[in-house]
Amino acid sequence: MKNEFIVKNARVIDPSRNIDKICDVMVADGVFAEKVSAKAKVLDAKGLVLAPGFVDMHVHLREPGQTAKESIATGTAAAAAGGFTSLLAMPNTSPAADSPASIRLINDIISETAKVRVYQSGCITENRGGERLAPYGSLKKLGVKAITDDGSCVQNNELMRNAMEYAKMFGLFVMDHCQENTLTANGQMHEGEWSVRLGLGGWPSAAEDIIVSRDVILAYYTHSHIHLQHISSALSVDIIRNAKRRGVSVSAEATPHHLSLTDECLKNYDTNFKMCPPLRAQSDVDALIEGVVDGTIEVIATDHAPHTDTEKDREFDRAPFGITGLETAFSVCHGVLVRSGKIKLPKLVKLMSTRPAELLGLDAGTLKPGTPADFVLIDENEEYVYSNPLSRSENSPWLGKKLRARVVQTFLGGKRVYIKK
């Protein structure tokens, strides 16, 4: 007997097929179906939006080695609450995800504890040290789809060129954390008026712009694709836009926090606004939003980076960079992009689901019959206060704040993995 049901009366949005209408969605045995039997159960979703489950291609799950901050179990529970059904986990674990042994260990933990789909990325270089390339062929055989030294940036240009060429041979997606280290040695926040006012070390936009330019040039000469992570600078957006116009194979992501917050938020030295790259000026936020609107920025990714209260509750210059973001991403982006009139809801779904799935080659981001029934139900009008996070850490600037547009249910392979309380 098939496990089948119909979701009725929802506004169905599927950017992969240009669908935006009130219609039924049918599920049978864990996949979307074209028809079901008369015995199928009915889920009435009147007043809700049904969209493909979100895909986050930039998440720190901290396991193995840093489980005081997060685990794969708690991180994926938070993901489900935010509407995410597929995650790409970053490799800055302990040990780093740079070898077959570490990938096997992580894959075992994923299979035992993950509440949504998790794909583990591998390192560009051994131990993210920027000196020797990781064994790409071995990582690929164990299911690695992408490589990055996220949290670090390969400073050696020749090594980065070789990485892009070898990754292309193995069909691995290359992602880069864009940071020129000599410019950020003492950086604590964006270099500008507020860093001067607060007496904190400045982190100039040029540190990002230089590496974005470098990566675009290498992508051009190696005929490779490069994906640029958590873009924050107005000039970087312009560099990427011009590269796309010239036909360079480049994609880029922005985070909810860089699209909605500025460096002025640090005026009270709140370490929950300390992140890497740092929050920048309003002009940078405006440029990022413009990049989302015109397609320069193709993906919204959270850069979910949990830290313990003890780590964050200390002197500003000693506190780590990073905030959590999985549970609040949709609400924040809906506010600054959709409710503000910058883009329509189908475009936001594409940014958070369809396009990242396409870039990573995942069978996700769509409601097409025959694909896994990963989907989310959303109430665009519900207001709520973000509290009691499912993430193990609480380092969020939105904790205790009122948000609007809420994920109310999340389904993975046709099974409900989250329902709001």
Active-site positions? Answer: 303
Identity at 191, one-letter amino acid code: E
3-state DSSP assignment of residue 376 = strand
In angstroms, the Cα distances linking 409 to 7, 255, 261, 324, 404 are 12, 23, 27, 20, 15
3-state DSSP assignment of residue 290 = helix
Contacts of 119 (CB under 8 A, 6+ apart): 86, 87, 88, 89, 143, 144, 145, 146, 360, 362
Q: Is the dihedral of CA 79, 82, 85, 91 positive or negative?
A: negative
Closest CA to 352 of 391, 326, 389: 326
Q: Is the dihedral of CA 402, 406, 412, 417 positive or negative?
A: positive
DSSP per-residue codes, 125-179: BGGG-SSSB--HHHHHHTT--EE--TTS----HHHHHHHHHHHHHHTPEEEE---
Spatial distance between the Cα atoms of 124 and 250, rounded to a whole number of angstroms:
17
Contacts of 37 (CB under 8 A, 6+ apart): 2, 4
Find the distance separating the first CA and the last CA of the chain, reported in whole Å. Answer: 31
Q: To 5 degrees, how large is the angle CA 40–CA 45–CA 46?
A: 125
